[in-house]
Structure 1
Amino acid sequence: MRTTELRCAQNIGAQFRALWLIQGRRRVVDTGAEAILASKGIKAVDPKEIFSPAYHKEREVIDFPPLPGQQAMEPVEPNKQPCFVFNNSFSPVAVVPQVQLLTNSLVQTSLPDSILGNAVDNTAEEDERVKEAILHAHLLDSHQEKLPKVLDVINNPGWRFKREYGIPLKRKNKSLTYQLLLLLDQIFPEGASRHLVEDTLTQVTLSHSDRLMQLKLRAAFILSSPKPLSAIVSPSEVRSLDGQPLPDIYPLSPFVNCRVWKNYSLNDAYGVGSSRVHPHTIFIHHNEPRMRGKEEHFHALSLLHGFAHAASYAKHFGKTSDEDLIAQPVVVQVVHTNGCQYHISAFQLNTLNLTGPTKNIFWTQPWETLFSSCTYHATKPTLEGYNPRVFSLLKGVYANA
């Protein structure tokens, strides 16, 4: 047997700390350059004097003339009042109570009867078609892309895993949602009169106390219908909820972990630009491989998206007064998924006054897991842990009118 050389594995962190300790003891050696420069009449300047703020001068701005056929651009000045901008990367620290304070909403811990009443059991054929949709979206799609880098900082710190090709998570979620909607169109006749808008940006600017807030959120799909959803809670019941208090997260502020922008636009935007169609269901996809928080963060983001789309629709079509909203509130349904877990909720917008006595209402329940595993076993596509309750709830959401 041939003897081989024994090589010991070195910890990168330990090596870095040892090198830092050795190099930190080094001192700057006087090379005599300053004395040589002084003998020649050259004065050495202390770097602290150069890099101090008092030494900086106004930089000269050169205005180049525009090219032929090009208009001169006016400089964009920052707004005087800062704005708190909430986008898809926002992560609420205080989860649902924080978003309740931002949206002036009360939370109900169960879905409304209009959804649960239509959530009938699936047939055997429907379950088989849902399983086929899951397999096709996660395994049988021929589209291949370079997947993000895999990092395992706990078990393999500093190790570079081999880059793999496969189906990106964004495509999996979009493909699965689209196939489920096609199946729902075939089950319910109402699908022929509804419209589906893909990858839309919703932007709405509102005032919260003495602060300016802007919701700038993107939805994967917006399902619209020719008739608006009927109100879940009557105006008299909404008035009876005026005395209920909102949660207290003191000493935290509702705007904690939110970026403050000075260069922003006050233009509102809604994904559907026609007044003939109304929002029905908003589909939100969490396309990140890791969750930034737990299930409560998922629920909080569903509430934020539901409020943003309802408020944008109300402002876009002129329903800005409290009386109009209470008489004809805006109701939207939200389906939030990360590909495996589905959170289904409903939101009723009663007012745009975020500090008034009138409250908005949000219906939620714990998320449901569609499946536990969808991988290849012995080169065979295998789906495990399928939960038919998810598609049953989707039927209840789709049938609601």
Structure 2
Amino acid sequence: MADKNMMFRQATGRREGLVLMLGSSLTIVGSVMVAPILPKLGAEFGPMEPNAALLVPMAITGPALAIALFAPVAGWLADRLGRKILLVIATLLYALLGVIPAFLNDLQTIVSVRLLFGCTEAAIMTCCAALIADYWKGEDRMRFINYQVVTIGLVGSLFFVIGGVLGEHSWRTPFYLYLLPILLVPIMMKVLWEPRQNTEQITVSDPEQVNAWALLVGYLLVFTGMVLNFIVPIQTPALLVGMGVTSSTLIGASAGFGLLATLAGSLTWPLMRRLLGIRGCNALLMLLIALGLWLLSNAQSYNDVLVAVFIHGIGAGLLVPNTMSPVMNALTTVTRGRGMGGFTSCLYMGQFVSPLVVAALMAQVGELRDAIVILALISLVGACIWMLSYLMPRHRAQSVTDNPVA
């Protein structure tokens, strides 16, 4: 039998990395580009659609539900059919389904198409994450996890602003930009390669069996974190309108600013991971999210909102890489697609549930700001739990080595 380490094919980190980073960014573009036009969708369909109050938000949250439900299936397909072929097919369907709402005049049909669109996003994100784990090991893998989150933040910030600007003219215009990923399809076919799925590819750094506890903690943390993170893009427009800020450009700019903060948080993650370890980073990110939400609940001006969104975004930028890396390293080679599909499912289920949680709290406390305060306190409690875990003597030494190397 050949040396197991010699059977692993390491990507160059140039062409493959660039393609996977661009592919990963499609998932954030899928939601941020339409968020600024929600008021115009409401104005267009509200008078003729009795369920507009439910269906208009579903235009942005619906794909998150579809991703959450379909991601485990996408992970299974990735393990059975192959990561590359599924990614290519999903990217093509992403472009075609993404542009269709621009030609529709029925809100229910738009939401239905957006749900199918979410299924393509599930496959894209699952395949990109699995290929990152397949192509790189150790610190190279950590670096590309961070590159992925940074790229998503940068592209998301750009397209949030672009969506707001284009939405000033018509709510239909931003949907045409979903055709752009068609240009990525032939590049994916040429640059990416299908990793071997037999056991001969397993290296000494691969776990022999799935670490179920690490997987469960990662799933739970990313779900909770996304419930807290998605408060900003979903609820901030309502708070701004309540302050008299109705311009879709300004609303889009505030969300884009938050995504830039997410980018900044992602850029600091490698340093924070080395200084604090996984547990310490979890405590820090939950604390920043709590502070950002508290400031948002007390904001009285547009500038106050920007400060809150920035602090919240720093914590949000730490969340995904700090949860994704332990999950990746808890999986075996042959379960990586399904495992990352589960991670994607929890991430987007948190996004979908977020406005429902806020609505449920508002039914109890009456005000959006009060509901946000309660969620800020929940995040603070989470920060304290992780801080206690970090400070425990038997875990503190391990926290530095918690940075997985596989």
Report if TM-score (shorter chain) is over 0.5.
no
Task: Please indicate the TM-score interval, normalised by the length of the shorter structure.
Answer: under 0.3
TM-score by length of 2: 0.27
Higher helix share: 2
Higher strand share: 1
